A and B are shown apart, each in its own frame.
Chain A
Amino acid sequence: MKDVETRPKRYERVIILALLLASLPLILGFSLLTISSLSTNMVTNLDPDSFHSTLENWINLFKGKIATTGGIRVNIWRITLNTLVVALGVAGVVTGISALAGYSLSRIDFRGRKILMVLLLILHAFPGVALIVGVYLLYRLTFPQSHDLVGLYSFIYVILARAALEIPMSIWLMKGFFDTIPWEFEWSGIIDGASRITVWRKIMLPLIKPGVLAVALFAFLAGWQDIIYVRTFLIHPTLATFIEANIEAEYSHMPLIAAAGTVYLLPTIIFFITAQQLLLQSYSGGIKG
């Protein structure tokens, strides 16, 4: 891709500076968090003197010692795994449903299609918090009797509930991606003898692969970052609830919590570095000129 080469350069520096200033608080916050995790004291007071480098926080974190004194131990690996299960679960459910629903809304002429699309938008407008009372009621109603099933049930429930929040927008996104594919690809497949589901799987999905990956990543992050639904429904802690629960605890060693916070941030940072490439990538198709 090439920009207009004769575009005015005059305000370019000003714009770059403004963007830099706007993102400064975020960059500063992230940096302080990461630096603190490598220090004996928190450096959030912006005083360089309070920085004494150490790896102890990270070692203790992975050993599961969250306080410098006392014997409180948690299994951080287990917590990370919980987070991963929720995030992957949400990503899977959201991607699967929205890839199918987005295709249907984009390509299949059925009754109630328009209304459904408007309803999805309205659904998206509801904040998750506003729905939580109702969702909790349903949670209690379907809560299993058997003690053994509670853990599994709470995982499935939180994944489905959190995915449901993401699905309306994801369907719209996916529909947008399908809309960009010329009908000829689909017609060609149908004339070649493919069913609609084969066309979807073998022709359409590969053509919108960057879109599918983008939706999956957004859903993954939504699951990874979520705190309210996880806190309400999941029996086990995730990174988010673990940090939140320990942040004000008297026994907590804050630089260690900072290390946990850095772990929690990692996917987001990786995603935003790699996603630019991914989101810009698109198939040029079979058309020339």
Chain B
Amino acid sequence: MVKVILDNITKRFDDFAALKGVTLEITDKEFMALLGPSGSGKSTLLYTIAGIYRPTSGRIYFDDRDVTDVPPKDRNVGLVFQNWALYPHMKVFDNIAFPLELRKFPKEEIAKKVKEVAEMLRIETLLNRYPWQLSGGQQQRVAIARALVKEPDVLLLDEPLSNLDALLRLEVRAELKRLQKELGITAVYVTHDQAEALAMADRIAVIKEGEILQVGDPDEVYYKPKYRFVGGFLGSPPMNFLDAEVQDPYLDVYGNRILIPIQYRELVKKLGVRKVILGFRPHDAEVVRGVAEGLVGTVYSFEPLGREQIVTVSVNGASLKVFAPEGEHFTFGEQVTVKLREDRIILFDKKTEKALEFLEE
């Protein structure tokens, strides 16, 4: 149970900069998700915390202890790998006992601890089997048990759910979150699945190309994205983005005029920006038939998904997705108007793709 502090971490592999000055503080008992697309450096960051990689520059602290040059075994971290890395030639019991055996625990104590952690993860009946005799979900529990048995200060998880099928993933997601809270263990969770990050984490760090774009609780990163990338990476379907031009007090959006949202009026004046990107989430707009005040376009596609129905609307060549009201069906080519919920609109600077309210940071 420690606080993890990453102070300006960079990591270079030959000519490739995997991490470019990452600074992040993970508080004690926090569940931190590192969210980013593949190749963003999120796993590299995790392995740097574990001590497998040594940062090219920057320091890592566990509480007040500088662990930058400490080898992995002396950091007391538990790591669950994406492929779980269970030792196939050892039975489940020996897999879980392995870290304790290396620490020369007495035999009875090993047996006791393994039993405890196995019961916690409900795998106590599987201890005599080999990993290949287990289902994916069971193997995953074994991997978590092995990481937890040595009572680590920090639990590191590298996309542990990505090898499970969709239904099981939902189940384990809820369980894992519960487990982390019950144990009160500091956890860092790497994922490329935005839903997983939103569902499980106390805070999310969104990473792109080796830089942290935004850190915040799930609501913050979801509703107040700092960058266009963050808005476009979270949510399913993600945020809509439309190029717009400021014509005070209006925005020209592909030939449609809408009022500049109240919260942005002064800011737009102050910053004097002309070209912006208008962003809004699919559930923060309403689609009505015919021509009205808003963004007028035609139905490009319509996807009923049970309770939610997605309408793809083409507005003078720009495409956007909106949730349609339950039970209402649209036909292809139909003329519709998309009405935006003004207070949920986010404006981004066209050049830096940064939200206007953060532009001066």
- A residues at B contact (CB < 8 Å): 182, 184-185, 187-194, 198, 202-203, 206-207, 209, 283-289
Pairwise interchain contact B102-A191, C-beta atoms closer than 8 A: no
User: Which of B83-91, B198-206, B350-358 makes up part of the contact surface?
Assistant: B83-91
Report A-chain residues with C-beta under 8 Å of the C-beta of B72: 187, 190-191
Contact among A203, A284, A288, A289 with B87 in the assembled complex (CB-CB below 8 Å): A203
Additional A-B contact list (18), CB under 8 Å, known A191-B73, A284-B132: A184-B81, A184-B83, A187-B47, A187-B52, A188-B79, A188-B85, A191-B50, A191-B77, A191-B79, A192-B99, A194-B102, A202-B98, A203-B87, A206-B89, A286-B85, A286-B86, A286-B139, A288-B136
Report A-chain residues with C-beta under 8 Å of the C-beta of B52: 187, 190-191
Q: What's the Cα separation between A203 and B83 when bound, in Å?
A: 16
Report A-chain residues with C-beta under 8 Å of the C-beta of B192: none
Contact among B85, B87, B132, B146 with A187 in the assembled complex (CB-CB below 8 Å): B85
Contact among A188, A194, A203, A209 with B81 in the assembled complex (CB-CB below 8 Å): A188
User: From residue B318, how far is it (CB to closest CB) to chain A in Å?
Assistant: 39
User: From residue B215, how far is it (CB to closest CB) to chain A in Å?
Assistant: 26
Report A-chain residues with C-beta under 8 Å of the C-beta of B71: 190
Q: What's the Cα separation between A101 and B136 when bound, in Å?
A: 35
Report B-chain residues with C-beta under 8 Å of the C-beta of A194: 73, 102
Report B-chain residues with C-beta under 8 Å of the C-beta of A185: 85, 87
At the interface, is chain A mostly helix, strand, loop or mixed?
helix
User: How many B residues touch the partner, as a band?
Assistant: 20 to 34
Pairwise interchain contact B89-A193, C-beta atoms closer than 8 A: no
User: From residue B63, how far is it (CB to closest CB) to chain A in Å?
Assistant: 19
Asked if B163 is an interface residue, CB under 8 A from chain A, the answer is yes
Asked if B297 is an interface residue, CB under 8 A from chain A, the answer is no
Asked if B228 is an interface residue, CB under 8 A from chain A, the answer is no
The residue among B85, B135, B139 with the most chain A CB atoms within 10 A of its own CB is: B85
Q: What's the Cα separation between A184 and B81 when bound, in Å?
A: 7
Q: What's the Cα separation between A182 and B85 when bound, in Å?
A: 8
Asked if B131 is an interface residue, CB under 8 A from chain A, the answer is yes
Report B-chain residues with C-beta under 8 Å of the C-beta of A283: 88-89
- Please provide the chain B residues from 257 to 315 with a CB less than 8 Å away from any CB of chain A in the complex: none
Pairwise interchain contact B132-A286, C-beta atoms closer than 8 A: yes
Asked if B115 is an interface residue, CB under 8 A from chain A, the answer is no
Pairwise interchain contact B99-A286, C-beta atoms closer than 8 A: no
Pairwise interchain contact B103-A187, C-beta atoms closer than 8 A: no
User: From residue A279, how far is it (CB to closest CB) to chain B in Å?
Assistant: 18
Pairwise interchain contact A287-B84, C-beta atoms closer than 8 A: yes
Pairwise interchain contact A289-B81, C-beta atoms closer than 8 A: no
Q: What's the Cα separation between A284 and B82 when bound, in Å?
A: 16
Pairwise interchain contact B163-A288, C-beta atoms closer than 8 A: yes
User: From residue A95, how far is it (CB to closest CB) to chain B in Å?
Assistant: 18
User: From residue B186, how far is it (CB to closest CB) to chain A in Å?
Assistant: 16
Pairwise interchain contact B79-A187, C-beta atoms closer than 8 A: yes
Interface pairs A-B: 4 shortest CB-CB: A286-B86, A184-B85, A192-B99, A206-B89
